Amino acid sequence: MKAFSLNIPTKVIFGNGESQQSTGSAVASFGKKVLLTYGKESIKRTGTYSKIIDSLKAVGIDEITEFSGIKSNPSLSHLKEGIELARTKQIDVILAVGGGSVMDEAKGIAAGVFYDGEVWDFYSGQAAPQKALPVIAVPTDYSADAGIDALEQWFESIQSPTRLSAVNIPAEDIPSIAEDAINLGTVWGITDYTHENVVSILKSAV
């Protein structure tokens, strides 16, 4: 694989028990009013929910607004509900606990809070967020951490320079990098993207 330059301005805290030990302090650095987003009730059954709540309360955070029910491939109507709730509660920071869909909707809420127009404008490419609430993610799916790398963020995020990592890939290296990406994806069972798809995405990210 040829060399390229990658800048990922995302802080990652990794380690056994860190969801309980570090979440509260990480959230507190951004404020006291938290929007806790998650999907179904699985985080309660596994004990993750209670650890998160304990961590928040340990640092004096008790203004916790819950927003659950996020589905795989989040709906626009649910996203809008989250935006209105964050505005009403004057949320300081969003805490997303779950997989990729929970993180995706949290990002949409974060940007939508400060936008007067239709939030779908971000996804249709008609507008780009200029401001967003901070988002802290606690992945509960082993594959959800892929969201920290630039290309995954390109696929899934709202494509704003305030939210994306920067990637600088020499144009002549794109075909070989695309081939490497396809081969690696196949190992993990990802077969949705053709070589042409990946090349097009890489060219757009350069």
**In the chain, where the domains are located:** 9-143
The answer to whether 59 and 31 have CB atoms below 8 angstroms apart is: no
CA distance between the termini of the chain: 17
pLDDT value of position 4? 66
Single pTM value for the model:
0.68
The answer to whether 130 and 114 have CB atoms below 8 angstroms apart is: yes
Q: What is the pLDDT along the chain (206 residues), one digit of tens a residue?
A: 567 666 666 666 666 666 667 889 989 999 999 999 999 888 898 888 999 999 999 999 999 999 999 998 889 999 999 999 999 999 999 999 988 889 889 999 999 999 999 999 988 888 888 889 989 888 877 555 544 443 344 334 434 333 333 444 556 667 777 777 777 666 666 666 677 777 776 665 54
Q: Supply the DSSP symbol for 145.
A: G
pLDDT value of position 159? 42
The answer to whether 159 and 126 have CB atoms below 8 angstroms apart is: no
How far apart CA 50 and CA 62 sit, in angstroms, is: 13
CATH no. for 9-143: 3.40.50.1970
100 burial (CB, 10 Å; 0-12 / 13-18 / 19+) is buried
The answer to whether 98 and 43 have CB atoms below 8 angstroms apart is: yes
